[in-house]
Amino acid sequence: MFPERLRALRRGQKMTLAQLAAALNQMPTADKTTRQNTAAQIGNWERDLRTPSYLEVRKLAEFFNVTTDYLSGKSDQEEYDLGRIFLSGKPLTFNQEQLSSEDRYELFQLMDGYLHGRQHRVSTDATGQEELDLHFDD
């Protein structure tokens, strides 16, 4: 399960093995004795030829913002709280473009407003198109 999940996460980020290795090598680690990650090493993990150490799995989980249980196949991560993700200090990208803290705040506000406003949306169209009721009296 681990190889498939690692490959899916990496490909989902549109990263090469070399790019992932470089990104992992940039991450701060508490253990300064760990060796540098390589594309070949990660490729071996994805092909299930080698098994990463617990520290490497933890680093991967942190990088991809998933749990170690998810990576190992012990649990499925079916739900993400976007509010927590937007308000976290972790770097976020959209279509491979880094979001600034201002972008994150604005997007959070837009989503929050959209979700709170849905109680005022009514479907009156035969095609199922929603209409926003702004409570303006004619």
Under CATH, what is the fold of the domain 2-72?
Answer: 434 Repressor (Amino-terminal Domain) (1.10.260)
Percent of the chain with pLDDT over 90: 33
Question: In whole angstroms, what is the distance from residue 61 CA to residue 83 CA?
Answer: 20
Residues of the chain with CATH 1.10.260.40: 2-72
Question: In whole angstroms, what is the distance from residue 86 CA to residue 101 CA?
Answer: 9
Cβ-defined contacts of 50-54 (< 8 Å, 24+): 51/2
Task: Render pLDDT for 30-59 as a digit per residue (tens, 0 to 9).
Answer: 566 668 999 999 999 999 999 999 999 999
pTM of the entire structure? 0.55
